[in-house]
Amino acid sequence: MDRGIDYGNLMHSAMRGLIRKVMDKIAAEGLPGAHHFFITLNTQHPDVLMADWLRARYPDEITIVVQHWFENLEVSDDGFAITLNFGNQPEPLYVPFDAISTFVDPSVEFGLKFETHLDDDEDEDDSVELDDDEAPMEHVEDPIDPPKAGEVVSLDQFRK
């Protein structure tokens, strides 16, 4: 059944493309100025590669910091490989872009948040669960107002 244009998934794809472009630039040129990233990812994603001890310590999600020390950053269409320092122990990671739940650059108060949801085949109920601080679209007074500085925007509140 044709459900029309899936703007939510199109936006998520575009936002992941933005992350890929940013990581490509960092791989080629390094981090400029005060830029740095907090990247939260789902460690249960089947394509995430990480040390067993690290996955045992962070069984559901982990927030990695790309700032002062990182090596071997390689970016592909689907994700990036990077070596980070965990307690003075270098550890290689592979992060698929679709395993990322948040991407934040606090130096410029920029952030993206991805909501996880089941595929349409698995979830026929198109209802959206809202956090306590989110209102349904019909109760938002002015959804076109830009977000406050440093606010992470979630597109799911605008889905039907």
The 10s digit of each residue's pLDDT in 94-149 is 999 999 999 999 889 899 898 765 444 444 333 333 344 433 333 333 333 434 44
The 10s digit of each residue's pLDDT in 56-74 is 999 999 999 999 888 999 9
Burial of 118 (0-12, 13-18, 19+ CB in 10 A): exposed
Q: What's the pTM value of the predicted model, to 2 decimals?
A: 0.68
Domains of the chain, start order: 7-158 (2.30.30.220)
SS3 call for 77: coil
C-alpha torsion angle, residues 107, 87, 43, 15 (rounded to 10): 20
Confidence band of 156 (pLDDT split at 50, 70, 90): low
Q: What are phi and psi of 155, to 5 degrees?
A: -75, -15
SS3 call for 42: strand
64, containing H or E segment: strand 61-66
